[in-house]
Amino acid sequence: MENKETFIKKLRSSGLRPTRQRIEICRVLYDRKNTFHFTINDLAGILKKKSNQKVSLATIYNTVFAFKKKNYLKEISINTNKSYFDTNVSNHHHFFNESTDQLIDLKNDDVGKVKIKKKIPGKKIKSVEVLVRISN
Which stretches of the chain bind DNA, using CB under 7 A?
12, 15-22, 39-41, 53-59, 61-63, 65, 81-83
Q: Nearest distance from residue 26's CB to DNA, in Å?
A: 11
112: left (phi over 0), alpha (psi -120 to 50) or beta: beta
69 binds, among DNA, its own copies, none (CB under 5 to 8 A by kind): none
Do residues 16 and 63 lie in contact, with contact meaning Cβ atoms separated by under 8 Å?
A: yes
* 115 counts as binding its own copies under rule CB under 8 A: yes
Pick the closer one to DNA by CB: 20 or 133.
Answer: 20
Show the CA angle centred on residue 129, arms to residues 125 and 133, nearest 5°. 155
Task: Show contacts with its own copies in window 76-105 (CB under 8 A).
Answer: 76-79, 83-84, 95, 97-98, 104
Task: Show contacts with its own copies in window 8-27 (CB under 8 A).
Answer: none
Do residues 92 and 108 lie in contact, with contact meaning Cβ atoms separated by under 8 Å?
A: yes
**Contact residues for 90 (Cβ-Cβ < 8 A; gap 6+):** 108
77 binds, among DNA, its own copies, none (CB under 5 to 8 A by kind): its own copies
Distance CA 134, CA 53 (A): 38
Name the residues that contact its own copies, by CB under 8 A: 75-79, 83-84, 95, 97-98, 104, 106-107, 109-118, 120, 122-136
